[in-house]
Structure 1
Amino acid sequence: MKSRKYLKFGMLAIILIFVVSYILYEKGVFGPQKVVGAQVAVGTLKPTVFGIGTVNAKMNFNVGPTQSGKILKLYVDQGDYVKAGQIIGEMDPGDLEQNIASAHAALVNSQYSAETAKAQIQAAESVNELAQVTAARHAKLFESGAISRESLESKEKDAQVAQASLDSAISTYQAAQSRVVQAVADHQKMIEQKKDLLLISPVDGVVVSRQTEKGSTVIAGQTVFNIIDPKTLWVQTRIDQSRFSGIEIGQTAEIRLRSHKEALQGEVARLQVQGDTVTEERFVDVKLNSASAKILLGDSADVTIQLPVAENALYVPAAAVKTIDGADCVWVVKNEKVYSRKVKTGVQTVEGEVQILEGLAQEETVITYSKAQLVEGTKVRLVPAL
């Protein structure tokens, strides 16, 4: 009986030792380090770049007066649609109307003076013509001895006076014409100044803001209305500098506004030269393919830019790529041990696949997750998940 009892306890002890040993090997410190891995695969990658941006407009116009003054009338408000050339406000003309009337009177007076001078030319021409004919006739009479020299000299002097009068009349007319030209210019200048008092929309667009009100005094160049062209709406998108490579003008993009449920289509319209040195981001302007009255300036948007498709590309999960000493590396499993290897990466998909350009071969195994820090040559065991 005792031998059977000892045998039973012996078997239980052996089983207990086996279970404890198994647990220590599988879960404890005595077994190989457990890691999750993945094989290097080949396939077609459809890479994308994600960024966050704000809706803005490429064509943005500030409308204001060209001279200081008081606002007389404002015809539109923010949110209103306007047409190119539409009068949207007026400035107080002050005494400009009186100045225009005075300039017009000066113009009419100068025109009358010019007409009078022109009539004087005609009269002087008639007198001069008669005097010249008379002088010529007396010259012939003097040659025939019919009149005296004194009579001839008198007629010649009359001819000289008549010519001088004609020359003076011509000069007076020319001066009068110059005054007409000056009066026309002054009057036109006043008319143009009156036109400058009108605030006119430069484009078919939407009034974004009205920054002053009727009766306010503004200076030359101060903005009264801000108008945008809704056909030029785009999203100024921030892209991490590390993901900027490969983005080009014309690439398609999907835009999801925070204030809208539906996705909108767009394309890359401009790559801004200067980035943000603090956040290490670059700016990409993504144009909306269709304008919408529901889209407002300042709306936040999630932007996904479609990069060129990579055919027959080697790739691994993004979790496998680590930065070691400033370089992209992966941990490769070989003969149940791990070794770090530098790689050159390419594009990345939104699903978390990273293209490998150099450093790995197809069907090699890389580590995607490990609870403990990996060390070169560490023995590991691949498991489905941790």
Structure 2
Amino acid sequence: MKLPSMQRRTLMLLAVSIPIAATFGYVVLRSGPLAPVAVMTATAETRAISPALFGIGTVEARFSYKIGPIIAGRIGQIHVDVGEKVRAGQVLAEMDPVDLDERIAALDAAIRRAEASIKAAEAQVEDASVRKDYADTQERRYDALWKSRTVSEVAVETKRQDSQVALAAFSAAQSNLVAAQQDLQRNRADRDGLIKQRENLVLCAPVDGVIAARNAEPGTTMVAGQAVIEMIDPKNLWVNARFDQIAATGLRRDLPAQIALRSHSGASIPGKVTRVEVLADVVTEENLAKVEFETLPEPLPPIGELAEVTIVLPELPALPVIPNAAVQAVDGKAGVWKIENGKVHFVPVRVGASDLDGDVQVMDGLLVGDEIVVHSASRLTSTSRIHITDKSAELLK
């Protein structure tokens, strides 16, 4: 029996469209917008974790010295260069003394003159003392003669006046001696001050160390306090590390640390927290700490080299633990996507400390054994269908 042409055409269209519709439906349900979302899961388990802090810092010298003149002057000579090792007391640079040497020589002459003046004043005092003693003797002698009416009253008054004049001369001689002695002390003090100024023009190393910077050259005029030479003590290096304030809970002194220098790739150097700074960086919202090397690396790292610091905190009591990647923010709340009966729903949680392995403690919101989503191929909703996989490649499709 032969079908009409209209029916044959309809059957042919159905034969073609049904497979196409089936294929389209399969594609939509398996790889289209209605396809289940590929997810990787994890289970909350009770475990103790050792939280750690991670920070980045730079190598610095614990003790650095800026050496310069205490008065304004011009640099005469510089005897060292950057990188040189120096010993304590070694001359690093010298300032131009200008006229200090001549002023010291003038004061030397003034001191000798003052010493000569003292000798002359002492001789005057001795002469005045002899004259005073003689005048006193004559006064007493004439007083005795006046009692026997051997001399006149005028002669007695004359001798008394001579005694007073001799006393005044003696007092003046003593004053001249004191003035000469004070002049000598003043000149010696001025000379000592100039000598100290002259000595301060010689810039010496306060300790054994290495020259870190040379800030000027001979002939440069420096103001008081301006550093000509900067040096460091290479035996005392530490890392000035920065830690995010959100994760800096528990940071304290004497905690063990591991230091990874950029110049020592793949190697960690043990250290410890020497000091936690009282002042934090309000701009970057970071806490600052100084981490000291337990053993200095060889060769010594350059000052300013970048370093990564890991500080291990004491182990915490066992609590439910999940991967940190599972925690997400939905509608401003932190929580996880929990799987129950093959479906997902969002559960708010309160998290605690975390470690550098990517695990975080759950204070409440989950029970041990709950299955949660760690990663998903696309954003999840309460109506999302899921497909559990352990292959990260499926999440990237």
TM-score over 0.5 (shorter chain): yes
Contact 1:255 1:301 survives alignment (8 Å): yes
Picking from 206, 210, 214, the partner of 1:210 is: 214
- Distance (Å, rounded) in 1 between the aligned partners of 2:123 and 2:49: 92
5 Å-filtered alignment, 1:316-327, equals: 316-327=322-333
Cα gap change, 1:325 to 1:281, in 2 (>3 Å): farther
Describe the superposition over 1:309-341 as per-residue Cα deviations: whole angstroms up to 9, x where unpaired.
Answer: 123132111111113344432112223222222
SS for the counterpart of 2:125 is: helix
2:271 touches 2:294 (CA, 8 Å); kept in 1? yes
The aligned residue for residue 334 of structure 1 is 340
After superposition, the Cα gap between the structure-2 partners of 1:96 and 1:149, relative to the gap in structure 1 and judged at 3 Å, is same
Indicate the residue corresponding to 1:140 in structure 2: 144
- CA deviation after TM superposition for structure 1 residue 27, in Å: 5.7
**Aligned amino acid, residue 296 of structure 1:** P
What amino acid sits opposite 1:265 in the alignment? Answer: P
Question: Which stretch has the larger CA shift, 183-192 or 221-230?
Answer: 221-230
Distance 1:106 1:29 in 2: 104
Q: What displacement does 1:38 show?
A: 0.6
Alignment correspondent of 1:347: 353
Query: What is the Cα-based RMSD across aligned positions, in Å?
Result: 2.5
The SS at the match of 1:220 is coil
- Report whether the alignment pairs 1:222 with 2:226: yes
Q: Deviations over 1:219-251 (max 9, x none)?
A: 332221111122332222232333222222221
In structure 1, the residue matched to 2:269 is 264
Letter in 1 for 2:343: K
TM-score (norm 2): 0.85
Does residue 365 (structure 1) correspond to residue 371 (structure 2)? The answer is: yes
3-state DSSP of counterpart to 2:272: strand
Q: What secondary structure is seen at the aligned counterpart in 2 of 1:384?
A: coil
State the Cα distance separating 1:19 from its structure 2 match: 11
Task: Say if 2:88 and 2:207, in contact at 8 Å, map to a contact too.
Answer: yes
* 1:49-128 → structure 2 map (5 Å cutoff): 49-128=53-132
1:287 matched to 2:278? The reply is: no
Among 247, 251, 264, the alignment partner of 1:243 is 247
Moved more, 371-380 or 179-188: 371-380
Aligned to 2:41: 37
Code of the aligned partner of 1:348: S
The whole-number CA distance in structure 2 between the counterparts of 1:191 and 1:325 is 77
**Is the 2:35–2:385 contact (alpha carbons within 8 Å) kept by the matching residues of 1?**
no
Structure 1 pair 83/346, CA: closer, same or farther in 2 (3 Å)?
A: farther
Measure the CA separation in 1 of the matches of 2:250 and 2:345. Answer: 31
Q: Does the 8 A contact of 1:57 with 1:232 survive in 2?
A: yes
Report SS of the residue matched to 2:318: strand
Q: How far is the alpha carbon of 1:111 from its aligned partner?
A: 1.7
For structure 2, the residue ranges without an aligned partner over 5 or more in a row are 1-20
Structure 1 alignment gaps of length 5 or more: 1-16
Deviations along 1:38-97, whole A, 9 cap, x unmatched? 111122212222222211123222111122322222222111222333321111111211
Q: Look up the equivalent residue of 1:254 and give its one-letter code.
A: Q
Partners of 1:326 and 1:84 in 2: how far apart? 62
Partner Cα separation in structure 1 for residue 94 and residue 142 of structure 2: 73
Residues of 1 paired with 2:245 and 2:217: CA distance? 44
Distance 1:366 1:152 in 2: 130
Match of 1:157 in 2: 161
Match of 2:151, as an amino acid? I
Distance 1:153 1:104 in 2: 49
Report what 2:11 is aligned to: none
Does residue 189 in structure 1 map to residue 193 in structure 2? yes
Aligned residue runs from structure 1 range 167-186, under 5 A:
167-186=171-190
User: Match of 2:381?
Assistant: 375
SS for the counterpart of 1:37 is strand
State the distance in 1 between where 2:326 and 2:100 align. 77
Counterpart residue identity of residue 353, structure 2: V
Deviates more, 1:24-33 or 1:122-131: 24-33
